[in-house]
């Protein structure tokens, strides 16, 4: 089991000045993905105290101690990802949750959405997306941004009533979504990728959102 509880690498003065991540205890659910620690490093740089637990190596009650939850990318589909969907179902009403790639797909399924296996596989491809809803995640960004994509599944755009898309690609595929009631949001792309110039800013916006 990989576990990390170190604080960010930025100076305390810088973190305090920005008010970023200060006092935030964040649990990252590792869905056995090589990108997980890129996310962790971004969060630490933003001043967060980060703990990493693999999706099949934790107990549900352990999660109660954390302020926020990040659902990492990962291979396969949500049903193959340990306790991922159970975590979402149990903590969505009370915790701030941010899903990435597989994390978005799992959130969609938990709330009644379905997935589509697309013809074009995106593996390390940068594309433009259009932000279609005002959302805290995209504050301070233009309406069209470039993002890095690594996936062969997407959320069916026919979303359940409780979810809404906040950005789309040029083909109408859902690139980000949020729950209408709970503090739950997600992106299909990888904010931790170098192909997503605004990725760290998205994480900062999410961390600062109360």
Give the residue from 180, 181, 186 showing the smallest Cα distance to 206. Answer: 186
Asked if residue 19 has pLDDT above 70, the reply is no
Q: Extract the tokens encoding 195.
A: 């192909």
Phi and psi at residue 196, to the nearest 5°: -115, 90
Instruction: Tell the CATH topology of 12-208.
Output: Rossmann fold (3.40.50)
> Of residues 44, 101, 151, 179, which has the active-site annotation?
101
Asked if residue 45 has pLDDT above 70, the reply is yes
Query: Model confidence at 12, in pLDDT bands (50, 70, 90)?
Result: very low
**pLDDT tens digits, 104-134:** 999 999 999 999 999 989 999 999 999 999 9
Asked if residue 11 has pLDDT above 70, the reply is no
Residue 101 among the catalytic residues: yes
Query: Model confidence at 20, in pLDDT bands (50, 70, 90)?
Result: low
Quote the pLDDT of residue 210.
Answer: 76
The pTM of the full predicted model, rounded to 2 decimals, is: 0.90
Q: Extract the tokens encoding 76.
A: 């396969």
Quote the pLDDT of residue 171.
Answer: 96
Residue 48 among the catalytic residues: no
Residue 192 among the catalytic residues: yes
Query: Model confidence at 160, in pLDDT bands (50, 70, 90)?
Result: very high
Alpha helices in 60-101 (DSSP H): 84-91
Quote the pLDDT of residue 164.
Answer: 99
**Nearest-angstrom CA–CA distance, 50 and 90:** 21
> Of residues 44, 48, 185, 190, which has the active-site annotation?
190
**Nearest-angstrom CA–CA distance, 18 and 139:** 16
Maximum C-alpha span of the chain: 49
């Amino acid at each position: 089991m990989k576990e990390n509880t170190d604080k960010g690498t930025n100076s305390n003065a810088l973190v305090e000045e920005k008010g970023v991540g200060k006092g935030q205890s964040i649990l990252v659910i590792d869905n056995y993905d090589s990108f997980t620690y890129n996310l962790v490093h971004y969060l630490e740089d933003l001043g967060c105290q980060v703990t990493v637990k693999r999706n099949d190596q934790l107990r549900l009650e352990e999660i109660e101690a954390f302020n926020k939850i990040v659902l990492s990318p990962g291979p396969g589909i949500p049903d193959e990802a340990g306790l991922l969907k159970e975590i979402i179902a149990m903590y969505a009403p009370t915790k701030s949750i941010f899903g990435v790639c597989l994390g978005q797909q799992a959130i969609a399924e938990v709330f009644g959405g379905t997935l589509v296996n697309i013809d074009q596989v995106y593996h390390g491809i940068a594309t433009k997306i259009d932000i279609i809803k005002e959302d805290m995640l995209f504050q301070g960004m233009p309406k069209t941004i470039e993002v890095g994509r690594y996936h062969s599944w997407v959320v069916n755009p026919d979303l359940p009533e409780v979810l809404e898309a906040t950005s789309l690609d040029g083909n109408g595929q859902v690139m980000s979504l949020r729950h209408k009631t709970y503090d739950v949001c997600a992106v299909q792309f990888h904010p931790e990728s170098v192909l997503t110039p605004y990725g760290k800013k998205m994480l900062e916006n999410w961390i600062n959102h109360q």
